[in-house]
Each structure stands twice: as C-alpha cells, then as structure tokens.
C-alpha cells in the first residue's frame, strides 16, 4: 500500500479505529454469508406490494432491508432514512412497518416513484379512478376510423420534441400525448402521480429503445407496444400491488401519511431531518460513473418534462463524470491509493473517482449528523475494476465512515441478487456492457458496510 499508512487519524475517530491495512485484511478474509443471499425468494417475493410499480436499475430487494430492520430496530416508533432512495425499497419497507421514513434522491423520477410506491390508496377508491381513467381512454383501443371526433389534444412536451421524435413513432407519440393529457386532467394529485408512474413505466416498451439494453440505443426494427394495451395491463398489476400494500400498512400511517413520509428531490449530503433524529440508515449508493442512471431514465425525464436541459441535469448526480474538485481532499488512504493507481491509466477517470469518494465523505458526515447515538448506517456497495485498477468501494466506505465518527461495526459479504443492470463492465472504458460484450465482472459480490454511532 506504499505510504498509505501515513495519513493522520482525525480527532473524531472512534478509539476502536481500524487502520487501512486492517480493513483490507478484513475484506480479504471475509467469507460470503449465505444467510444474506435470499436465494429462496422468488420474483413474486422480491416484487411484492408496490415494489414492481416501475423498472429501476440495480435496485436491492426488500428482504435485505427487512432483515437489517429486524436486526437493529427493537422499538415501534423508529425513523428510517435513505439518502439515495432510488425507487424506494427502504422507504416502502419502513412505511410497511409503521415507521417514519425520510430520504432524498437527486433523480426526479426516482422521487416520484418512491412517493407513489410508499403511499397506500384506499382500494375501492383507486378501483373507481382506474375504471374512469381507462374508460376515458378506451377510444385509443378502437379502430383508427372511429377516432376522428373523439380525439383528445395530445400533451407533448415541446421542450423535448426532438428527443421524443427520436425515440417514438408518430402514432405512439400522439397516443402517449393523449394519455398524458388525461392524466394531467385528474384533480386528485395522489391518483395523478399514480397514473404518471404507470405512464413512465410503459415508455420503454412503447419506444424504439433496444429491448433489454441499459444504454440508450435505438432498434429501428422494433415493433413498439401500443400504449393503451401496455397501460391497462400495468395498471392492473399496480392496483393489485396497492391492495396488498394497503393491508400491511398500519391504519395510523395510512391516515396520516404526511407525518410518516418525508422525502425530497435533493442532494444526499443534505437530508431533510434534524440532528440525532434517525434510528437506522439503509441505502445503496451510486457507483463511480453512475451518470448512466440519468441516461436510463431519459424517456421519463423528457415526457414528464422534469428538466429543461438533460446535460445539465446529469451533472447533479453523485458519481457523474462531470464532477471534479480542486479544493477538496480525500480522507481515505485506500481511496488515495486507488486514485493514484488510476491516474497512471487515466487522469480523467482518476478525477471522477476522487470526486465520487469526496462526495461520499460528505454523505457519511450527514448520516452521522442525523443518527441518534446507538444508531447505525448500512451502506450496500460492491467493488469493481476499471481499466485494470481494483476500485475497492466497500473498503473505502469502511475507512471513510470512521473519519465521519462511526465505529466500523460490521461487514456483511453477500452474493449479488439478480439486478436489472448487467453484472459486467468493459475493462477499457469502465462502462456497463451486456453479458455478451463485457469481459469483466462488475460486481460479483457486494458488501453491507455498517457503521455505529456510539
């Protein structure tokens, strides 16, 4: 590790601080804990309740969150936080237990998905609303000749018309626009948001986006799904999920959801929570070069008109290739060593990695601020390899948590479950690739790095 050990330990470090060498040894000798693989759970288990409302890259399964809550929460009035809430697995789980839930995501579509997935709706009321909605749109399912007098003025965001024309056929573009117009005419915001999530979910199948691809690639031979058919089918699935979720959420939470659900579009480094208010943080942070996440959601971003400028929007994401810092320094010696090795291969990527770990230092500081004494933060993260350099994300997290004041409490090594993102990277570019093209496992296993605020 060279001179890595010369880093001076911060005064806030716990007395039980582990050195970088000890951390590396811990990870190298750690065995996979098969109890945390959850291989016995079928897709119907991991997609229970509202968890299958919307496709989302690299989401972790609710069973993992439930297990962490079972191990670390023993009282009924807990507060669970997720600074990178993504599609809301942690938030939904907390609400299902009757706990307060808070969190952020810089991705506006992620915020919308989480809000809808975490908000149980009275099943009878939702059933009536869905029937009315589909009845208004039923003309979309009739022969073309009968449409002339019944057409609704399509709502198509003109800010992004070029991108919409790029991804959608003229027919599907207009039909989606008509659906969006009817959604926006819905006065009940909870129901409107529910419909928007269904709308967002079907966009990929209704476009010429290459099916199964995580990169924005067109397939001009693709026969896109008809929007009405896709929407009706997915609404049926969402309705079933809501009915199940409604039954498990305690009545006190259903009737006072605003008192229990506190989520915002925002930076993970600034949580909407007072000091020492949270019992448990459970999150899966982005990885280096996570700007792919913004690309993956661009269809939803343009149709829901969530930004004026896609390029500027991407720059806000932690892990983006656009971020570089000249006036901030890394605290982790392991991170410094990784950046040094990468700089010999690619100075640009070295700067990206450095910026990612600097951002994460501030996220760990924020977790420490909001947690009660005796509370824990649980970060789910995997290691990877970029341009032949081992990027030891989990080891860096373990060391960095200590600089934020945490005691390194536990490391769980688990086999990665099936995730939507491919499990392979191209070693030269570091970008995700499909299994046929890739030559390197991206995250063969992952860790849960747990810090304790004593």
- The percent helix, strand, coil of the chain (3-state, each to 5) is 45, 15, 40
pLDDT grade for 446, boundaries at 50, 70 and 90: very high
Kindly give the interhelix angle for 333-343 and 393-403, rounded to the nearest 10 degrees.
140
pLDDT for 234 equals: 98
Distance of CA 49 to the CA centre of its chain: 18
- Over the stretch 374-398, which tens digit does the pLDDT of each residue have? 999 999 999 988 999 999 999 999 9
pLDDT for 289 equals: 64
Residue 429 has pLDDT above 60, yes or no: no
Strands 384-386 and 389-391: antiparallel
User: C-alpha angle with apex 117: 92 to 447, nearest 5 degrees?
Assistant: 45
Tokens of 282: 């459970």
Q: 241 vs 213, which has greater pLDDT?
A: 241
- Over the stretch 309-361, which tens digit does the pLDDT of each residue have? 767 766 666 655 555 677 788 999 999 999 999 999 999 999 999 999 999 99
Look up the CATH number of domain 4-106+258-452.
Answer: 3.40.50.150
Residue 209 has pLDDT above 80, yes or no: yes
Write out the DSSP string of 254-283: HTTHHHHEEEEES-TTS-SS-TT-EEEEEE
């Amino acid at each position: 590790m060279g001179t890595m050990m010369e880093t001076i330990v911060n005064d806030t470090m716990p007395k039980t601080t582990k050195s970088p060498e000890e951390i590396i040894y811990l990870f190298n000798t750690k065995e996979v804990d098969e109890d945390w693989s959850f291989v016995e759970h079928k897709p119907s288990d991991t997609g229970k309740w509202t968890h299958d409302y919307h496709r989302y890259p690299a989401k972790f399964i609710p069973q993992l969150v439930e297990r962490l809550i079972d191990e670390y929460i023993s009282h009924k009035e807990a507060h669970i936080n997720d600074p990178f809430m993504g599609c809301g697995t942690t938030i939904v789980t907390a609400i299902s237990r009757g706990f307060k839930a808070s969190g952020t995501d810089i991705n506006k579509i992620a915020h919308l998905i989480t809000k809808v997935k975490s908000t149980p709706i009275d099943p009878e009321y939702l059933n009536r609303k869905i029937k009315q909605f589909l009845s208004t749109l039923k003309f979309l399912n009739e022969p073309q000749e009968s449409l002339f007098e019944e057409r609704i003025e399509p709502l198509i965001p003109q800010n992004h018309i070029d991108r919409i024309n790029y991804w959608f056929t003229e027919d599907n573009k207009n039909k989606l626009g008509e659906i969006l117009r009817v959604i926006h005419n819905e006065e009940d915001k909870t129901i409107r948001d529910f419909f928007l999530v269904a709308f967002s979910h079907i966009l990929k199948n209704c476009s010429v986006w290459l099916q199964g691809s995580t990169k924005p690639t067109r397939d001009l031979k693709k026969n896109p799904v008809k929007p009405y058919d896709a929407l009706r089918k997915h609404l049926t699935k969402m309705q079933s999920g809501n009915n199940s979720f409604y039954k498990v959420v305690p009545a006190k939470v259903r009737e006072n959801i605003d008192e229990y659900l506190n989520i915002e579009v925002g930076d993970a480094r600034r949580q909407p929570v007072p000091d020492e208010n949270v019992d448990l943080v459970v999150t899966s942070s982005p990885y280096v070069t996570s700007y792919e996440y913004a690309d993956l959601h661009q269809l939803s971003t343009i149709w829901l008109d969530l930004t004026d400028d896609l390029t500027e929007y991407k720059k806000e994401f932690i892990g983006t290739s656009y971020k570089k810092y000249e006036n901030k320094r890394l605290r982790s010696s392991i991170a410094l060593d990784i950046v040094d090795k990468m700089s010999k291969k690619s100075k640009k990527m070295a700067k990206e990695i450095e910026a990612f770990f600097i951002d994460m230092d501030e996220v760990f500081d924020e977790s420490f601020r909001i947690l009660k004494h005796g509370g824990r933060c649980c970060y789910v993260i995997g290691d990877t390899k970029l341009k032949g350099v081992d990027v030891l994300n989990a080891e860096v997290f373990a060391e960095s948590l200590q600089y934020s004041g945490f005691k390194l409490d536990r490391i769980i090594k688990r086999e990665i479950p099936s995730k939507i993102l491919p499990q392979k990277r191209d070693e030269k570019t570091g970008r995700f690739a499909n299994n046929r093209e890739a030559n390197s496992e991206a995250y063969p296993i992952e860790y849960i790095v747990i810090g304790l605020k004593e």
